[in-house]
A and B are shown apart, each in its own frame.
Chain A
Amino acid sequence: MARLVIDPVTRIEGHLRCEAVVSNGKVKDAYSSCTMWRGIEVIMKGRDPREAWVFVQRLCGVCTTVHAIASVRAVEDALKIKVPRNADLIRNLIMGNQCVQDHVIHFYHLHALDWVDVVSALKADPAKTSELAKSISSWPNNSVTYFKAVQDKLKAFVERGQLGIFSNGYWGHPAYKLPPEANLLAVAHYLEALDWQKEVIKMMAILGAKNPHPQTFLVGGMAIPIDPESQNAINAGTIAALNKYADMGIEFVEKVYIPDLLAVASFYKDWTKYGGNSNFLACGEYPEANGKLWLPAGVIKNKNLKEVYPVDHKKIMEYITRSYYTYSKGEKAGLHPWDGETTPNYTGPKPPYEYLNVDGKYSWGKAPRYEELPMEVGPLARVLVAYASGHKEIKEVTDMVMKKLGIGADALFSTLGRTAARGIITLVTAYKIKDFINELATNIKNGDLKIANTEKWDPKTWPAEAKGMGWHDAPRGALSHYIVIKNKKIENYQMVVPSTWNLSPRDHKGVRGPVEEALVGTPVADSKQPLELLRTIHSFDPCMACGMHIVEVREE
């Protein structure tokens, strides 16, 4: 049996290592390990809870905003602050914009090269690519001349012999199935998406001051003022600009991302057989005016779409049996994040090393479990929970996607299902953003300019002790932050992050984490070129800075 190592796993955020045992052309077992730790929770201790979001947002610059949102919500929960509706709307717009932009980047720049052979695009007939493009979308860049120009640029680039970021890819690998024409289409859109992402994100730059790492969040609301009569606040011009970027998002997702996703997926339907999981958790997102969440929260167990369980954060426990930590209550103990501990205990090999000791501790990531079960979080969890809950928009788009691909709901429990779910979420979110803009405009029209609830801004108004938690269903999945405040300062700060769930190592019972489980059974044509493993790993959109730089710390 061959032990296959991928380190670094590229086209993700952060530092991930994957070791897999391959036998008879299939993955028999897999281990995911995060290889970096910063100890941010240790750093949070003793600081002002109102600025926690500025710090923890730096967990990740790819999932920028998400930790800021979860953080202000956790503090607001602890101090019992209700934020004004306008603040929720501005946050919804920032979150929605992040979701749309981030998922498109994932599809084209982090995931596409697992399915698209760039070198094969050189052999394409641009006329056929043009025909293909016209048959799937009304996107205007679809002429023969256009695709010929893209191909010429690519040719010149390859002929120069400096492939740069494309060098040493698995080009020509037998698992690539797209015809050259489709590859050329995807390469053209890879480049277009690069240009689009920097524009569409200007919605966040307007509302958040900058991207990455926007800087207008506040405990109690938002710091960006609203005043239709001021040039230094959200005014009618701002609303017009927000609509412009919202439309730009809808157009690209509708006419480029979704058609490409369906076109590519139709060549890879065998990937509905690999990469699945059984248990899913979504925490719900986008507060509506009626106090409910637009996308529902819920837990699905054993792939059973007939029953959706409510989510209760008190059922989350974290284990460190196979992680580089110790617990005062012993190696097998599980701790809720409010009682979390982090005492680093690196027992891995001394660098430089060839293999991890996968029989012992092997990751800086902890193993979070919900009622002792590993949970997949992220777009697929979000879609499955919403679909099973009868959510109108999700159901419509999911049914459309399944119909076009000729697959049933069972096929969603797979690598391809996960990649398709990301597209589904992106489309419904791109549309929903318009509703939030309209509601904000209506509020302004009605004279509601409130952006922050400042009743509890002064720490003198706080109780001696308080604790709270904040959920956010981030692009990569359910995220939760936990804070304990004592004497106006942070006593304990903890985060259970999407990639901590998905990339978790084995737990106290030896049960694999979701990515590890999903990899088992994956075919491997050439163990020196493990393209197939990357497909499944990337379908989770791992974010290691989030998942692994994070540990729950309580210094006794």
Chain B
Amino acid sequence: MEKETIYEGLVRRGVSRRDFLKFCATTAAVLGLSSSYVPKIAEAMEKKEKPVVVWLHFQDCTGCSESVLRATKPTIGQIVLDVVSLEYHETIMAAAGHQAEKSLHDAIHKYKGKYLVVVEGAIPTKDGGLYCCIGGRSALDILKEVAKDAAAIIAIGTCATYGGIPAAKPNPTGAVGVRDIIKDKPVINLPGCPLNVENFTATVVYFLTFGKLPKTDNLGRPLFAHGILIHDNCERRGHFDTGEFAKSWGDKEHRLGWCLYELGCKGPFAYHNCPTIRWNDGTSWPVMAGHPCVACSEPKFWDDYAPFYFADSGSRDSFFAKATKIGLGAIAVAGLTKRENK
């Protein structure tokens, strides 16, 4: 029997035409596309076969998988059963041990050259990679084997993209991201700690709609999700511009929702669409809930942006000096300069 299209799968699961178009519209919005693209996305969903996906877990915490479980547009049930054909995923697959390994090998042989690989977690390279073994084989070997015949690779979360927390100083296991190992395949980076599922779905849909991976910045991140500073889309930006800052946890200014910059917010340095898409179906995001951003979508944020609470003096001057020193975020620095000169 022929493989069904995504739309057929959704209809079979009782999704109405109206809801389907809503999903296409939301996806277009996340991708930053105008509404004229909605029919194109819908058409692709109606005609394209479900992509085969193989999901690899390495030095991870499964937080990115959990994030994907929270998907609402479409739901995880729809993603797993309808949008993609998920052939291997250790956390939710029924099979275990040899049978699980069989699923992996069946998929990469049967769909040679066509399957998408999702990688979650960093890859340890020290001591021959023995710090992460699955089925008696190292993560390094498994990645190389599975990547060989993949159509493209989606690295999710800051670990799979840039090494993440295992690569934080002193990086005891020599952990790296996918692009440090795989050089001859298209690899898109979807960082975040964890990744935001909306960006995952949008990337898959982009791939299906346009037949290629989305445009990226020089760090391999899609522009639709990482093209604008958090600071520039932040709902508290007005308070920053007028110099209204929360100074202490629970003070009047903090309660009123003033800018968290002086409490350590790294929004001026992080490129991520958190403020616009938020988390958990648009429920909230860190700044909205009163806690500073920690720049979790930036490479090496565990070292470059810590201490997260300005341990030294808490002044903007020290932060500015630090930002200049590590040479990050030209736009952010320009923004700060403007602010300083005011």
Q: Which residues of A does B touch, CB under 8 Å?
A: 5-15, 17, 35-40, 42-43, 47-48, 50-51, 54-55, 58-62, 64, 105, 109-110, 113, 118, 149, 153, 156-157, 159-162, 164-170, 191, 194-195, 197-198, 201-202, 205-213, 215-216, 218, 220-221, 223-227, 230-233, 344, 346, 348-354, 449-452, 454, 457, 459, 488, 528-530, 534, 545, 549
Contact = CB atoms under 8 A, between A and B. Distances in A.
B176 interface: no
A213 B286 CA distance: 10
Contacts of B64: 61
A346 B130 contact: yes
Nearest to A50: B309
Contacts of B63: 58, 60-62, 64, 212-213
Nearest to A191: B77
Contacts of A226: 250, 255
Given A51-B307, A164-B86, A198 B172 contact: no
B100 A168 contact: yes
B4 to A, nearest CB: 6
Given A43-B172, A198-B75, A225 B286 contact: no
A516 B60 CA distance: 25
B92 to A, nearest CB: 5
Contact of B279 (A5, A9, A210, A225): A210
A38 B172 contact: yes
30 contacts: A6-B97, A13-B61, A36-B58, A38-B172, A38-B175, A40-B165, A43-B172, A43-B302, A48-B307, A48-B308, A51-B308, A61-B194, A62-B63, A64-B63, A162-B50, A164-B87, A165-B80, A166-B93, A167-B95, A194-B77, A198-B70, A209-B285, A212-B194, A216-B286, A223-B289, A225-B255, A230-B256, A232-B290, A351-B128, A457-B248
Contacts of A39: 166, 172-173
B176 to A, nearest CB: 13
Contacts of A488: 311
Interface in B245-259: 248-250, 254-257
Given A36-B133, A58-B61, A48 B290 contact: no
Contact of B193 (A12, A58, A202, A346): A58
A233 B290 contact: yes
Contacts of A191: 77
A351 B170 contact: no
A228 to B, nearest CB: 10
Contacts of A36: 58-59, 131-133
A451 B249 contact: yes
B339 to A, nearest CB: 21
A153 B279 CA distance: 30
B131 A38 contact: yes
Closest 3 CB pairs of A and B: A61-B63, A232-B257, A39-B172
Contacts of B58: 36
Interface string B14-29: 1000000000000000
A7 B133 CA distance: 9
Nearest to B77: A194
Q: Is the interface of B mostly helix, strand, loop or mixed?
A: loop
A8 B97 contact: yes
Given A38-B175, A157-B81, A160-B4, A60 B61 contact: yes
Contacts of A549: 59, 61
Contacts of A344: 172
A305 to B, nearest CB: 34
B127 interface: yes
Given A7-B97, A48-B306, A62 B66 contact: yes
Q: Is the interface of A mostly helix, strand, loop or mixed?
A: loop
Contacts of A457: 248-249
Contacts of A534: 96
B230 interface: no
A62 B168 CA distance: 21
Contact of B96 (A10, A35, A37, A209): A10
Contact of A168 (B12, B69, B103): B103
Contact of A209 (B124, B165, B173, B289): B289
Interface residues of B, number: 98
Contacts of A12: 91
Given A8-B100, A215-B291, A64 B66 contact: yes
A42 B96 contact: no
Contacts, number: 321
Contacts of B172: 38-39, 42-43, 344
B170 to A, nearest CB: 6
Nearest to B82: A157
A356 B115 CA distance: 32
Contacts of A459: 311
B175 A198 contact: no
A112 to B, nearest CB: 10
B165 A215 contact: no
Interface string B286-306: 101111001000000010001
B257 A167 contact: no
Given A36-B131, A43-B168, A168-B103, A209 B14 contact: no
Contact of A194 (B61, B75, B93, B103): B75
B248 A454 contact: yes
A15 B302 contact: no
B76 A13 contact: no
Interface string B143-168: 00000000000000000000011101
Nearest to B64: A61
A6 B289 CA distance: 43
B34 interface: no
B342 interface: no
Given A165-B86, A194-B75, A451-B249, 17 more contacts: A8-B90, A11-B94, A38-B173, A43-B170, A43-B172, A51-B308, A55-B302, A118-B94, A160-B1, A164-B87, A165-B80, A169-B99, A202-B281, A211-B280, A223-B291, A226-B255, A530-B97
Nearest to B157: A61
Nearest to A109: B92
B135 interface: yes
Contact of B284 (A54, A209, A218): A209
B140 to A, nearest CB: 9
B60 A43 contact: no
Contacts of B341: none
B209 interface: no
B71 interface: yes
B85 A211 contact: no
Given A210-B284, A211-B280, A225-B255, A10 B249 contact: no
Nearest to A157: B81
Contacts of A165: 80, 86, 89, 92-94
Contacts of A224: 289-291
Contact of A205 (B12, B135, B283): B283
A101 to B, nearest CB: 10
A207 B306 contact: no
Contact of A211 (B3, B70, B81): B70
A9 B62 contact: no
Contacts of A530: 96-97
A109 B106 CA distance: 23
Contact of B62 (A13, A215, A233): A13
A221 B96 CA distance: 42
B68 to A, nearest CB: 10
B132 A35 contact: yes
B59 A351 contact: no
Contact of B130 (A10, A17, A350): A350
A14 B62 contact: yes
A61 B91 CA distance: 12
B329 interface: no
B136 interface: yes
Contact of A167 (B101, B103, B136, B173): B103
B141 interface: yes
Contact of B136 (A59, A62, A166, A354): A354
Nearest to A162: B85
